[in-house]
Structure 1
């Protein structure tokens, strides 16, 4: 489909803002996906194009965190592998399984994540003792959340972050850095299935990818320099915003009919 230059430029800047926020707190898709749908992109192509552009943003943030020395890929090989396999299985399963149950549960999960970061004491600067071994964490969290991202997606970054903080006992900065590595992994795994199906709109997706790449780089830099000062409130805001958006989509007709 043909899009005007004005719409493409607008989506470029939308992707930049989304990349900036996503690098710090996740939830960038909450901004880009509605923008793509508003531009008249069919839903399946919007999902595929959004996954294309978001892969560049998550790569940008991941690369910055690795180069800054906050995270080492050698320490995450198992989690990366499990996340990739989980996301690939999720992207395949979504074609056969009704996502209605997950759609109802996710707003509750996102509210719980928001409350955790709102009420929990400030995160530690020194690592505590992890609740799960590295292998079990990779299998349960990497594979499980990866599957969810390939299958459905909203709130993946927030879920990864809370697992790294609550289970792996990492500081919020370390958790954010590792989250982007696994987010990029699940994005690529799911994107492969969309590409094979011929769904992404490449011209638009790559244009948005440039904006997302630049925004994510800036967001990652803020994480490194400002730490949890900005991450914590953004995780809360984005998680609550995603929960409210999903609840509105599911129940707005009932709410409107009640008044």
Structure 2
């Protein structure tokens, strides 16, 4: 367990959790900050314990951001509800499947998928700037279930960039602008995080004291991030989305091809 730390460690954990909550509330990708922070502070801890602790810290910030968005934005529950339920079920399945199937192929493919998302967003200057959500119907419901299930499985099985993928999907296939897509992504991401946390918790891979302490700062960061998104609008979220994608491409490319 994670039982000993210094004042410097506490400051690193608090700062990392705050920044992770802020970034994650806007476009996802908070794990890019919080996971390396945990590994830096507790280099000898087991990875499952750190990942489980990160899920505990992050789910509170994600839920907090989702509630703030829900108060300021009219959410499309006809899309969100089926997507969220599917994401929860398939995230659990993905987390279970990773114990039997290697993720090496997906690890090497991910940087190229992220690069494709970035190029698409850059080429389409009006991408995510107009909010024209698709109407409900059986076809839209099935698409929401399919998207929620696929990204939920991905989050449970592998995970990096889940929030950013959700934002992209809600813009590209459901006609939302970046702010509304970020709000929708938070709702679905709560479900995927809850499923993963449940699995980690059953296995004893959660340091509850550390995770709950980080959760406080993560919630504060998420409140700041969601306020920034609602205040500065689509252009701000689009720029941060591209920035997070750039970092994800570098990070996942390094992990896939350069790390020993």
Q: What TM bracket, shorter-length normalisation?
A: over 0.9
SS at match of 2:68: helix
Q: Report the Cα offset of residue 251 of structure 1.
A: 2.2
Residue 84 of structure 1 and its aligned partner are, at CA, apart by 0.7
Moved beyond 3 Å, runs of 4+: 72-75, 128-132
Check the 8 A contact 1:83/1:138 in 2, yes or no. Answer: no
Where 2:69 maps in the other structure, the secondary structure is helix
1:78-157 paired onto structure 2 within 5 Å: 78-122=82-126, 123-127=128-132, 129=134, 133-157=139-163
Deviation of 1:69 (Å): 3.2
Residue 145 of structure 1 deviates from its aligned partner by: 0.2
Gaps of 5+ in 1: 255-259
Between stretches 181-190 and 130-139, larger displacement belongs to 130-139
> Structure 1 residues 63, 225: closer, same or farther in 2, change over 3 A?
same
Provide the alpha-carbon RMSD of the alignment: 1.9
- Indicate whether 1:169 and 2:175 are aligned: yes
| Counterpart Cα distance in 1 of 2:131 and 2:159 | 31
Corresponding residue to 2:254 among 228, 248, 259? 248
Are the structure 2 counterparts of residues 134 and 35 from structure 1 closer, same or farther at C-alpha, using a change threshold of 3 Å?
Answer: same
Q: For residue 113 of structure 1, report the CA deviation from its aligned partner.
A: 1.5
Deviation at 1:125, TM superposition (A): 2.9
Is contact 1:24-1:176 (8 Å) kept? Answer: yes
- Measure the CA separation in 2 of the matches of 1:235 and 1:69: 19
User: Partner residue of 2:237?
Assistant: 231
Higher alpha-carbon deviation: 224-233 or 4-13:
4-13
Equivalences, count:
254
Deviation at 1:126, TM superposition (A): 3.8
Q: Name the structure 1 match of 2:18.
A: 16
